[in-house]
């Protein structure tokens, strides 16, 4: 039996208004945040990695030049994250089992991403959500059976929340030992707090 194929959509099209600077360019473990994210997805073994860019896309495109990823542009990024999800999903290959949707401001290491793919292979659920100390985290892995639902997400119905709600009885909550699944680097204080608490005071 052929191994399952997985795709990842990395959302990096927003204006980073609350952060005050482009999140994808923030330093993270010796590289930029967007580089870190792409490298973790590659290490995890995703067969297709789609990076959705929008605001100041040339700067971020330069950061990931040379990585084996598909870059797509969202000309309507100001409408909201849902528009970037739809743009990314339209680029998914037809022979994909699962679609992971992650955001550039939610860095998660490859080990956890692999666990999520393994869980979908074992259980064939519709949605895999990581949980750390009883708190739901991210990213979220969707079975490709839900691709039509993903293509219809919009801001009025709270984006992915509606899809998750509609399939609540088909969700696998995966317990992980990785606190990074709870990270949300929305504001400078979020980022600085993590930097200051990291070992040695830096990452």
Would you call 70 exposed, middle or buried from its count of C-beta atoms within 10 A (0-12, 13-18, 19+)? middle
Cα dihedral sign for 170, 98, 113, 26?
negative
Domain parsing of the chain, residue ranges: 6-196
Q: Which residues lie below 8 Å from residue 177, measured CB to CB, with a gap of 6+?
A: 132
At residue 202 the predicted structure's pLDDT band, cuts being 50, 70 and 90, is: very low
Kindly state the tokens that stand for 80.
């909201």
pTM here? 0.93
Q: Which CATH number fits domain 6-196: 3.90.550.10, 3.30.420.40, 3.40.50.300, 3.10.580.10?
A: 3.90.550.10
Interval 108-145: pLDDT, tens:
999 999 999 999 999 878 999 999 999 999 999 999 99
pLDDT mean across residues, the chain: 92
Interval 44-86: pLDDT, tens:
999 999 999 999 999 999 999 999 999 999 999 988 899 999 9
């Amino acid at each position: 039996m052929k191994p399952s194929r997985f795709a990842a959509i990395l959302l990096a099209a927003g204006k980073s208004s609350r952060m005050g600077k482009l999140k994808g360019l923030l330093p993270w473990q010796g590289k930029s945040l967007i580089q870190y994210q792409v490298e973790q997805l590659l290490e995890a073994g995703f067969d297709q990695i789609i990076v959705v860019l929008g605001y100041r896309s040339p700067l971020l495109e330069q950061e990931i030049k040379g990585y084996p990823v598909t870059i797509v542009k969202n000309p309507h990024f100001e409408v909201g994250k849902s528009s970037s999800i739809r743009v990314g999903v339209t680029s998914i290959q037809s022979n994909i089992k699962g679609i992971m949707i992650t955001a550039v401001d939610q860095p998660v290491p490859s080990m956890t991403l692999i666990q999520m793919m393994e869980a979908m292979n074992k259980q064939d659920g519709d949605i895999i959500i990581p949980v750390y100390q009883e708190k739901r985290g991210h990213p979220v892995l969707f079975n490709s059976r839900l691709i039509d639902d993903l293509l219809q997400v919009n801001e009025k119905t709270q984006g992915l929340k509606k899809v998750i709600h509609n399939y609540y009885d088909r969700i696998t909550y995966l317990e992980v030992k990785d606190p990074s699944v709870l990270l949300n680097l929305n504001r400078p204080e979020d980022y600085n707090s993590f930097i200051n608490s990291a070992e040695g005071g830096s990452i």
